[in-house]
Structure 1
Amino acid sequence: PIDLYIGGVDHATMHMIYARFWVKVLHELGFVGFREPFSRFYSNGWVTLGKTKMSKSKGNVVGPDDFLERYGADTCRLNILFLGPANEDMEWTETSVEAMARFVRRLWRVINDVVDQAPSGEPGGGVLARKAHATIAKVSDDIGRRYAFNTAIAAVMELVNELSRDRAGRDARFAAETAVSLIQPYAPHVVEELWERLGHERLWEESWPKADPALLELETIEVVVQVNGRIRDRLHVAPDTPEEELVALARESSRVQTYVDGAEVVRTFVAPGKKLVNFVT
């Protein structure tokens, strides 16, 4: 059987019916040992224009040639995958293409700055390296399990933002190589040039990056502290900080004390994951 069938929702009620019928016939005749031809079906959304499905019959199809000439194939491919979840309808706009073109240009500038400024050698395992490994884990899960291409691209954008703040750091080259590798399925042409500038070649032959579990463990987490539902402070603590100690640290915050102002705390709420503490007075 086919592992994965990808198509529009109309495939489930048209093309797949014929395929399933003939496979069942072949199964009954003893020619195949399975009754279903597809193990899984993934329904992709429509690209719309003015909230209406693009269709030749409706005459509202936007051809790619002009955009390819102006922005290149990589930008157009990134844009269509970034518009929204792949299994939902997505609205085509020219402004979104221009925004993606700006990201590609920024990616080019940042990676080239890293080539010129960052030292070679093994990464140091600092904040940027941890961010790179976290991005590997997220992008791998988004693509491999969730088919969420838009959030995978967004994760690489976040990594590039972090990299832009530390272009000469010890972990910068590793973060740059990670960003280039993870964006390769969407923008193979521009990243191949960047990969060469980073001192490598033939990126398409390289194995997919793997996250180091040890570097996925956070040194600190951010805890939002609220008083009566309003944010009054933010703490950075170790992930294994006991709940009692976390509440005590939040109570000791000078900003929190200003808003509590001697009032009795009638309830203290700590959210699951210990990322929020709310004092109710």
Structure 2
Amino acid sequence: VLTGYGTGAIMAVPAHDDRDHEFATVFGLPIHEVVSGGDDVQNAAYTGDGVLVNSTNDRGLSLDGKTKAEAIEATIAWLAEQGVGEEKIQYKLRDWLFARQRYWGEPFPIVYDADGVAHALPESMLPVELPEVEDYKPVSFDPDDASTEPQPPLAKAKAWVEVRLDLGDGEQTYWRDTNVMPQWAGSSWYQLRYIDPTNSDALVDIENEKYWTGPREGMPSGGVDLYVGGVEHAVLHLLYSRFWHKVLFDLGHVSSYEPYHRLYNQGYIQAYAYTDARGVYVPAAEVEEKDGRFFYNGEEVNQEYGKMGKSLKNAVSPDEICDNYGADTLRVYEMSMGPLDTSRPWATKDVVGAQRFLQRAWRLAVDEATGDAAVADTALTDDDNRALHRTVAGVRDDYANLRDNTAVAKLIEYVNYLTKAYAGASVPRDAVEPLALMLAPVAPHIAEEMWTRLGHEGSLAHADFPTFGEKWLVDDSVELPVQVMGKVRGRITVAVDATRDAIEAAALAEPNVVAHTEGKNIVKIIVVPGKMVNIVAK
């Protein structure tokens, strides 16, 4: 039985804890019921809710008949009255791997004296910087020399490890810690350093922090508006970051008491992986397909699907894709693969589709022969305005809700419209400039270049994002199918606000409908506004 709770050892409540019950049974210890509601606790532990029994002491505390929650509250109040305890909330953050035995990492601002006592370095001696070393290999262990032991790489930097310092008791020899902090130490607060990256006097100037991440309307806790990260971040990295940030808040270094306002988990990029007869992964890029079977070095391998990465040996190098297709093509392809929060399958052969889309967008703005702007200063048609404003409205909403895949789809549709509508002619400037602005979030490089070729001196990052007019989002006409005796015989286009009489007249005048109703008696005409027209004839 250990005093620490949650260590895997028993906590001495055999009637209501499975591990304790097993322990007590093996060693013949008494099992006393204190929470009623289950079967005989001599046979099995009861771990559910209930009311307390056998819970009265000889000092005036009786918990019998109370629920667990009521008993806890009453016990705390009784301990406070007796002057032997008080209510307190205690948080624990346990990580037994905070120290790393490698070179890269933040050095601990701690030194040890000759007795092994740890001393924190004063602020005037911070930061502690890593020394220059010849190599980053750890100190080797010699199995033939009992006096040797494995040591981190920093142990070899003797002049850095052993230092003479005056920490208030006169100058003495101290030894630095040769372990370093893990990568999550810096990653817990790096967003703050972005706010004030050149400040050599403080982690971050509090006024800068208030401006960028301080409490504000709708976000009383403050923090970064949006954190996009994989689900694996949620358990450890974000927990550490939150702990770290709250310490900084308590010390007065930041005004926000939460590091992030909203978490969004993106899905994995998946790809085919292959295992040999031993179940060992082989390089996916070197696997050959023959008649629906897969081979690596002449031996057949099994195909499976999984997260793209080094462990499955199915990673695709971003550098290679950028070299062959361009960085913007890679970005557009990844964003168009599917919803951002779901896992999506990678297919290199499909990357060319994103490249062709960007090429079509480029040709709308730039004359490929001269490199000059290819647009015309002509007015937009009503169809142009409808296509543009509907694209702007949809893309704005998609970006705001992180639906990058559907935003790309709308941009592709818009580019296709302009390409078809102005085949062999210059596209109006007012139709292309908004395209460059909408394209920038997913293809920033080509969008900036389009913007420059269109005659703008400053970056498009400083231009206003396009807006839309409500009137262009509403159709002024609608196409209706016309049925004769339940079968579609024609289609008519009428004004959205057309009267019933106008719709009936247009339906009866449609040539194909006339052919199927000629010589017949029109019994009834059913008009479903905005949907269809059905003519009953005999």
Residue 111 of structure 1 is aligned with which of 359, 365, 388? 365
**Using the alignment, how far apart are the partners of 1:157 and 1:141 within structure 2?**
16
- Tell me if the contact between 2:480 and 2:533 (Cα under 8 Å) persists in the aligned partners: no
CA deviation after TM superposition for structure 1 residue 88, in Å = 1.3
The corresponding residue for 1:157 is 412
**Separation in structure 1 between the aligned mates of residue 500 and residue 239 of structure 2, nearest angstrom:** 55
CA offsets per residue over residues 218-276 of structure 1, 9 Å max, x none? Answer: 332344556798765443332333567546644653445667896999995848xx2x3
**Structure 1 match to 2:311:** 57
Cα pair distance change 1:108/1:232, threshold 3 Å: farther
Give 3-state SS (helix, strand or coil) of 1:208's partner.
coil
**Among 443, 448, 461, the residue aligned to 1:204:** 461
1:176 corresponds to: 432
Tell me what 1:101 maps to.
355
Q: Quote the Cα distance in structure 2 between the aligned partners of 1:38 and 1:259.
A: 67
SS in 2 for 1:211: coil
1:44 to 2:266 alignment = yes
Question: Could you tell me which residue of structure 1 aligns to residue 140 of structure 2?
Answer: none
Most deviating of 189-198 and 164-173: 164-173
Shift of 1:53: 1.2
1:14-25 correspondence to structure 2 within 5 Å: 14-19=236-241
Return the TM-score normalized by structure 2.
0.44
**Alignment-derived partner of residue 218 in structure 1:** 475
Seq. identity, % = 34
Take 2:517 and 2:257, find their aligned partners in 1: how far apart are those partners?
67
Deviates more, 1:155-164 or 1:247-256: 247-256
Kept after mapping to 2: 8 A contact 1:228/1:278: no
For residues 43-90 of structure 1, the C-alpha deviation after alignment (integer angstroms, 9 at most, x for no partner) is: 211100024211222222111111110111111111110111111111
What is the count of residue pairs matched by the alignment? 275
Deviation, structure 1 residue 120: 1.6
Deviates more, 1:229-238 or 1:177-186: 229-238
How has the CA–CA distance of structure 1 residues 33 and 116 changed in structure 2, closer, same or farther, with 3 Å as cutoff?
A: closer
Tell me the residue number matched to 2:330.
76
Distance 1:34 1:152, change over 3 A: same
| Corresponding position: 1:189 with 2:408 | no
TM-score with structure 1 setting the length:
0.78
Q: Which of 395, 401, 423 does residue 139 from structure 1 map onto?
A: 395
Aligned to 1:11: 233
Q: Secondary structure at the match of 2:270?
A: strand
**1:181-239 residue CA offsets vs partner (Å, 9 max, x unmatched):** 11011112122222222222322221111112233333323445567987654433323
- Larger radius of gyration, structure 1 or 2? 2
Out of 242-251 and 168-177, give the one that drifted further.
242-251
Comparing 246-255 with 160-169, greater Cα deviation is found at: 246-255
Which runs of 5 or more structure 1 residues have no equivalent in the other structure?
none
- In structure 1, C-alpha distance between the alignment counterparts of 2:486 and 2:262, rounded to whole Å: 44
Greater RCO structure (CA 8 Å; 6+ sep): 1
CA gap of 1:83–1:233, structure 2 versus 1, over 3 A, is farther
Q: Distance between the aligned counterparts of 2:517 and 2:349, measured in 1?
A: 47
The partner residue of 1:89 within 340, 343, 363 is 343
Two-structure CA RMSD over aligned residues (Å): 3.8
Q: Which residue of 1 aligns with 2:383?
A: 127
Distance in 2, matches of 1:243 and 1:127, equals: 26
Deviation, 1:141, is 0.6
Per the alignment, residue 8 of structure 2 pairs with none
Partner Cα separation in structure 2 for residue 24 and residue 227 of structure 1: 72
Instruction: Out of 51-60 and 219-228, give the one that drifted further.
Output: 219-228
- Higher mean alpha-carbon deviation, 221-230 vs 126-135, is at 221-230
- Kindly provide the amino acid, as one letter, of the partner of residue 228 in structure 2: I
Which whole-Å CA distance do the structure 1 matches of 2:261 and 2:455 have between them? 42
The answer as to whether partners of 1:225 and 1:234 remain within 8 angstroms in 2 is yes
